[in-house]
Structure 1
Amino acid sequence: MKSASIVIDQSTTASKVYLIDETGTILDACSKTHNKYYPDKGWVEHDPQQIWEQVLECIRRLILAHGDEMKFVRASITNQRETVVAWNKETGKPVCNAIVWQCARTNDLCRKMIREGHEPFVLQRTGLKIDPYFSATKMKWILDHCEVDRQKVRFGTIDSWLIYKLTNGKVHATDHTNASRTLLYGLESETWDDELCTLFGIERSMLPDILCSDDVFGWTDLNGLLKEPIPIQGVMGDSQAAFYAQRCVHEGDIKMTLGTGSSIMMNSSKRQPRIDGLVNVLGYKMKESRAYGVEGIVNCNGESLNWAKEDMRWFFDYDELNEDLFERSSSVLFVPALTGLSMPYWNPAAQGMFIGVGRQSRREDFLLAVIHGVICQLCDALACFGSAGMPVRVDGGLSRNKFIMQLLADLSGRTIEVCEHPDLSAMGVWLAGSGKNDFKRKTNTLYPKRPDAWRQAQLERYHRAIDCVLMLANVKKEETEDETKI
């Protein structure tokens, strides 16, 4: 009988579950797209109960299809980072919808804390900026705005919520990579920091235990689907899981994961002083090894294409992003700030903008502008890592389009090495849980084809558009502050 791991990849857009055998081969998969809610301007939410039910349904389908021929040996979890779930420890019911990493509802709180001078301390302890992107201000918002019993409320990122549900409420835990994204975790102490918890008004009792990614987090019978429980082993935030799967184990190794948003992470061997525009990051922490790095975060890449497809109806199938589209010449340019601008600008109040629109502009021009804007944004992020050197190891949804990847090589001036595996985040936690060091991979390498003059002209035009977006965001900020004074 063949052995397989059940690997959960819970992302911003969908919940995917894989069956992966002991050689690292994906045997089968099931996926369900969950709802996103936008109850107010800049707010983004998920229903944690829906996420749990969809994960369980995917597992159920795979077990029903393969249970007679398969021995299931472990469950592993990789997840969207920074998204916060709060639930009552006695009832197991969520206090409110999950607040997604993209959500900007804590902008005012973050600005207030920065004005009060707290950011240098937070940077020193966590390596992160005070920004709505990270988890702590979301937790504080829930405590301040929802009906919460402080003795019974429990917080967690999506991994903690799934572990809690998979263990029937017995385990409240997370791993170091997810904990390190909360603004409550000390990079040096490698635990919850009491002073940070006090600063954000979060009690340690509300937070999960922190374990290494290759620890056993608990045991699960998958809600009665298995006769005998299996260990939950292999837990990691999705970007770090991809970093681990890409084997970024040497100084200067760099990877880019292109999902709903994007993460660019470079191995720095040990914790480094913060580089402007980047944040320090715990790359991974196993029982016997760890890696540090620096990371660049881009909010809205795949999400910009989702918006163009699902909301604007500028295309209906990703096969339409083909050679004919990319050969088109267009003056339209887009700044993809649909949920603010992250690195290197860190302005959550920024909003998206089209420029160069004329009477002759067509649907294809707007679509191409969105793609160019996304790639220009990624180039801005890559520039923070210094001059081109090592190939950039790329994975994630957008990496499957060869025309988009060639545009990335042309506009960045860098060698792009695309891993053709469908889900490196899942493979990262499979590696962590199984104790394996690597798996078979196939890569495709693309080189810049356009001259430097073309690349510089394209980026200079994009940066002028960024200046306009930032100017309008600052005007909006000043108007808001004036209204607050009144």
Structure 2
Amino acid sequence: MSSPVILAIDQGTTSSRAVVYDAKTFDVLGTAQQEIEQHYPHDGWVEHEPEDIWYSVARTVREALARSGRDAKSVAAIGITNQRETAVAWDRATGRPVHRAIVWQDRRTTDFCRERAADQPMLTAKTGLVLDPYFSGTKLRWLLDRAPLLKVVADRGELAFGTVDSFLIWRLTGGTVHATDATNASRTLLFNIHTMQWDDELLRYFGVPRAALPDVKPSVAEYGITKGLDFLPDGVPIRGVAGDQQAALFGQGCFTPGEAKCTYGTGAFYLLHTGETAVQSKHKLLTTVAAMTDARPKYALEGAVFIAGAAVQWLRDGLHLFKSSAEVEQLAKESNPAEPVLFVPGFVGLGAPHWVPEARGVIFGLTRATTAADLGRAALEGVAFQVADLIDAAEKGTGEGGLLRVDGGMARNDWFLQFQADALGRPVARAAQSESTALGAAFLAAIGAGHADESSLGALVSAATRFEPKLPAPDRAKKLREWRRAVRAVIGFYSAE
């Protein structure tokens, strides 16, 4: 029989990925990826078809195993990581979704959040979050308000609600397990991160029946076994689950307080591990649950930039400036530094540390001389500046600082990472495996299956490339002042009414 492997399922916002790892060395043996269709039924609304998500997962798992050359029977454990706040609802009897998944980027609950802004202190004290359309609880309330009959059947326990991990666990186990992990639960506005339980007061506030919600487990736990699938044999255990950003933190080897990473995917997400202390930010960062290998709570501070790689995707698909996202690096190199273009990519609002869901994307400084190269440069700089803002906010609350570990699709762009180091005024280290999200899910599953522990995994994590800041401090300060003036203008314009 072939040596054991770990299967990681990484279900993201724009695509699903499956990766097969050697259970000892964590070398990648096979991988597959498939994009999923985005639906935009109204301005600010973003949806996915849950069946598209499921079929993309089934296809990529099958392809990754085929490319690995390993038999599916050699899979020792499955790890799942996922886009976090996206909300799914399905019928327990049939397993069929009752509505499209409402994606984390979706802004349809903006009015609800603004009308109840006075309640934010209570919500933040329990959840570590802010009242924003970003989070699942507001989406589930919208769904139940829109279709009152769903509330009736949900109260009777006939519906299941969850984030994408819950939906995948349900399908993988043949409808026998309805569960989530604490990192995903902590992103719903329904979960008390101090008691580590669904909170009755929060459930009443959002009108979400407890009977519809999944059981909450640590990130390393028994999540059932596969059943009735045509791409995996029965009996493969699911042993690790974590939301994508917490999985990336774990995959980067950030197991202890003070270690930090930023993942650049559709959005950009900075997490700072704070250990067993739930640090409450005074600068509008989120307190969230970090991946837990046992029942002891672990926490992190998080800053979220809603649009990162999605800005490059817009230049590619919306403006048709290039055919491949990788081409934006060469464009940025060709840009004229004297062109005063600033791009605030707030397509779906501004996240931390501003939290302005009404905001939209704005480009400043266009001239007749502005080129596609200048727009490419401005898009990359806009992402880097947003990350600099949220890291500055995090350090005001903790005093931490130093090396930033990075991963994700945009982390393959050397020009961008050099500018990120310049904008921060500190070194940036790219992970040897740029897809730390899937690796983190595999690490968690390996621990759950008894193939590894944190000590052995930490020794496997290394940085491939380090970028040192080169921009003189006065120039950096000038660029940040101009950027922040642009952000203030966007907030002022969209908050005027």
Query: Which structure 1 segments of 5+ residues have no match?
Result: 479-486
Of the structure 1 ranges 327-336 and 197-206, higher mean CA displacement relative to structure 2 is found in 327-336
Alpha-carbon distance in structure 2 between the residues aligned to 1:186 and 1:32 = 35
Quick one: which amino acid aligns to residue 308 of structure 1? L
Is 1:393 matched up with 2:394? no
Q: How far 1:367 sits from its partner (Å)?
A: 1.8
Q: Are the structure 2 counterparts of residues 388 and 63 from structure 1 closer, same or farther at C-alpha, using a change threshold of 3 Å? A: closer
Is 1:344 matched up with 2:365? no
Could you report, residue by residue, the CA deviation over 1:273-301 in whole angstroms, capped at 9, with x for unpaired residues?
32312011111222254421211111001
Of the structure 1 ranges 176-185 and 318-327, higher mean CA displacement relative to structure 2 is found in 318-327
Q: Is contact 1:2–1:70 with CA below 8 Å preserved after alignment? A: no
2:298 partner SS: strand
Q: Are the structure 2 counterparts of residues 64 and 110 from structure 1 closer, same or farther at C-alpha, using a change threshold of 3 Å? A: same
Alpha-carbon distance in structure 2 between the residues aligned to 1:69 and 1:349 = 47
Alpha-carbon distance in structure 2 between the residues aligned to 1:101 and 1:154 = 18
2:223 partner SS: strand
Could you tell me which residue of structure 1 aligns to residue 369 of structure 2? Answer: 360
Alpha-carbon distance in structure 2 between the residues aligned to 1:41 and 1:355 = 22
Alpha-carbon distance in structure 2 between the residues aligned to 1:384 and 1:369 = 22
Could you report, residue by residue, the CA deviation over 1:357-410 in whole angstroms, capped at 9, with x for unpaired residues?
112212222222111111111111111122773201111111111110000001
Is 1:405 matched up with 2:417? yes
Could you tell me which residue of structure 2 aligns to residue 383 of structure 1? Answer: 392
Alpha-carbon distance in structure 1 between the residues aligned to 2:272 and 2:374 = 34
Could you tell me which residue of structure 1 aligns to residue 17 of structure 2? Answer: 16
Could you tell me which residue of structure 1 aligns to residue 91 of structure 2? Answer: 88
Q: Is contact 1:260–1:301 with CA below 8 Å preserved after alignment? A: yes
Is 1:444 matched up with 2:447? no
Quick one: which amino acid aligns to residue 482 of structure 2? R
Q: How far 1:71 sits from its partner (Å)?
A: 1.2
Alpha-carbon distance in structure 1 between the residues aligned to 2:90 and 2:302 = 30
Q: How far 1:242 sits from its partner (Å)?
A: 0.9
Q: How far 1:323 sits from its partner (Å)?
A: 5.4
TM-score w.r.t. the length of structure 2 is: 0.92
Aligned with residue 194 of structure 2, among 188, 196, 207: 188
Could you report, residue by residue, the CA deviation over 1:86-141 in whole angstroms, capped at 9, with x for unpaired residues?
11111211111100000000000111121xx2111101101110100111000001
Q: Are the structure 2 counterparts of residues 184 and 338 from structure 1 closer, same or farther at C-alpha, using a change threshold of 3 Å? A: same
Q: Is contact 2:331–2:377 with CA below 8 Å preserved after alignment? A: no
Structure 1 residue runs of 4 or more that deviate by more than 6 Å after TM superposition:
none
Alpha-carbon distance in structure 1 between the residues aligned to 2:90 and 2:326 = 41
Q: How far 1:207 sits from its partner (Å)?
A: 0.4
Is 1:414 matched up with 2:420? no
Q: Are the structure 2 counterparts of residues 227 and 180 from structure 1 closer, same or farther at C-alpha, using a change threshold of 3 Å? A: closer
Q: Is contact 1:56–1:222 with CA below 8 Å preserved after alignment? A: no
Q: Is contact 1:104–1:348 with CA below 8 Å preserved after alignment? A: yes
Q: How far 1:62 sits from its partner (Å)?
A: 3.5
Alpha-carbon distance in structure 1 between the residues aligned to 2:437 and 2:267 = 14
- Aligned-residue Cα RMSD (Å) equals 1.7
Could you tell me which residue of structure 1 aligns to residue 122 of structure 2? Answer: 121
The 5-angstrom pairing of residues 46-65 of structure 1 reads: 46-64=48-66
Quick one: which amino acid aligns to residue 134 of structure 1? F
Q: Is contact 2:141–2:206 with CA below 8 Å preserved after alignment? A: yes
Is 1:234 matched up with 2:240? yes
1:360 partner SS: coil
Alpha-carbon distance in structure 1 between the residues aligned to 2:340 and 2:330 = 18
The 5-angstrom pairing of residues 216-295 of structure 1 reads: 216-221=222-227, 223-269=229-275, 270-287=277-294, 289-295=296-302
Of the structure 1 ranges 225-234 and 340-349, higher mean CA displacement relative to structure 2 is found in 225-234
Quick one: which amino acid aligns to residue 211 of structure 2? S
Alpha-carbon distance in structure 1 between the residues aligned to 2:63 and 2:251 = 26
Aligned with residue 373 of structure 1, among 359, 367, 382: 382
Alpha-carbon distance in structure 2 between the residues aligned to 1:369 and 1:105 = 28
Q: How far 1:227 sits from its partner (Å)?
A: 4.2
Q: Are the structure 2 counterparts of residues 397 and 222 from structure 1 closer, same or farther at C-alpha, using a change threshold of 3 Å? A: farther
1:265 partner SS: strand
Q: How far 1:457 sits from its partner (Å)?
A: 1.1
Q: How far 1:319 sits from its partner (Å)?
A: 3.9
Of the structure 1 ranges 267-276 and 237-246, higher mean CA displacement relative to structure 2 is found in 267-276
Of the structure 1 ranges 55-64 and 358-367, higher mean CA displacement relative to structure 2 is found in 55-64
Q: How far 1:355 sits from its partner (Å)?
A: 1.1
Q: Are the structure 2 counterparts of residues 280 and 324 from structure 1 closer, same or farther at C-alpha, using a change threshold of 3 Å? A: closer
Aligned with residue 461 of structure 1, among 446, 458, 482: 482
Q: How far 1:318 sits from its partner (Å)?
A: 3.6
1:2 partner SS: coil
Q: How far 1:261 sits from its partner (Å)?
A: 0.7
2:225 partner SS: strand
Q: Is contact 1:4–1:70 with CA below 8 Å preserved after alignment? A: no
Q: Is contact 2:313–2:325 with CA below 8 Å preserved after alignment? A: no
TM-score w.r.t. the length of structure 1 is: 0.94
1:432 partner SS: helix
Quick one: which amino acid aligns to residue 298 of structure 1? V
* Matched length: 474
Q: Is contact 2:6–2:78 with CA below 8 Å preserved after alignment? A: yes
Q: Is contact 2:82–2:164 with CA below 8 Å preserved after alignment? A: yes
Q: Are the structure 2 counterparts of residues 324 and 423 from structure 1 closer, same or farther at C-alpha, using a change threshold of 3 Å? A: closer
Could you report, residue by residue, the CA deviation over 1:309-330 in whole angstroms, capped at 9, with x for unpaired residues?
1111122224423456335322
Could you tell me which residue of structure 2 aligns to residue 481 of structure 1? Answer: none
Q: Is contact 2:226–2:233 with CA below 8 Å preserved after alignment? A: no
Alpha-carbon distance in structure 1 between the residues aligned to 2:255 and 2:70 = 36
Identity, % of aligned positions: 35
Is 1:212 matched up with 2:215? no
